[in-house]
Amino acid sequence: MYFKDKLVKGRRYRYAVKSARLPDGRVISLEKIYKKETKKELEGFFERRETEENFKYVLENFGEDSIFTEDALRKIEEMKLGYRKILRKLSRQSLRDLLDRFTVNFTYESNALEGNSLTLKDVAIVMFENASIKGKDLGEIYETTNSRVVVEMMFRNKFEISHDSIIKMHKLLVKDTGVVAGYKKLPNFILGRKINTTPPEKVYEEMSKLIEWYNQNREKTHPIKLAALFHGRFEQIHPFEDGNGRVGRLLVNVILLKSKYPPVIIRKSQRLSYLKTLQDFDKKYSKNLERFILEKFKETYRKFFEVYIKYL
């Protein structure tokens, strides 16, 4: 934020000015006649204006529907800018602590959804004390240490929605676990779901279609909706021998972070609801999965990021 003087109809006015970046990368200039407001008051004004400009962009370019209503879109943009504000506000050490906490929570919940028996405390010990847990399967330990590497790379924007990047993510996740890395060579199935996964010989073709769909829709579909629909189709393809759920949930966050939205955590306590929305997606009803991912987005922001900054 800075100040500049302008002549308007022969009178000199002082303006407070702040730049704001829209979702498409364009930078716009926001201005307000300065009336001796405090710095905090001016910051609040510009935060509201920036939220409004981003909301207008989202509404015009993505549109609204029964789930992504006008009110929901406005709240999402408030959370997006709130997340950016949190990141800017933190010291380097506090930011490192926040990302470490997210990594532990995300890894614990995502792995637990797949049956990993490590507790949240176990995950923290494995990740940050580089220690094994007595009586625990070595494969579960490697799943945890591998996840830390991948989540940290995700926050550094090291992954794309491409064949090479998705395969690389899988390779890093399953390192030393005994799982064959890369697209599957043998058929697999999804326990509890009445759908046939893509046969091995068709995986590359179907993943190519999914990646192309993502690229065609990333500028015209809201990123949260885009992430949900991508996730549903990815899980149907089930391109890997094992690790499809963990890769799929990471890709949801890759899509969100690329559009500057905060990431989500799907908790093991929500497993039944989560699986039900994927089953509904199999029946060509995507709205429940869209609604579920949106709810987890809002819940993660409020119960993880907002809570962290509140108690800092």
Range of the domain at 10: 2-62
DSSP secondary structure string, 254-278? HHHHHTTPPP----GGGHHHHHHHH
Residues 39 and 133 in one domain: no
What pLDDT shows up at residue 15?
86
- pLDDT tens digit sequence for 252-309: 999 999 999 999 999 999 999 999 999 999 999 999 999 999 999 999 999 999 988 8
Asked if residue 241 belongs to a domain, the reply is yes
On whether both 177 and 275 belong to a single domain, the answer is: yes
Say whether both 42 and 171 belong to one domain. Answer: no
pLDDT greater than 90 at residue 118: yes
Q: Both 100 and 56 in a single domain?
A: no
pLDDT band at 194 (very low <50, low <70, confident <90, very high): confident
Specify the pLDDT at position 2: 85
Q: Are residues 114 and 196 in the same domain?
A: yes
Same domain, 43 and 94: no
Model pTM? 0.93
Give domain status of residue 235, yes or no: yes
- Model confidence at 312, in pLDDT bands (50, 70, 90)? low
Same domain (yes/no): 284, 222:
yes
Total structural domains within the chain: 2
69 lies in a domain? Answer: no
Q: Is 41 found in the same domain as 99? A: no
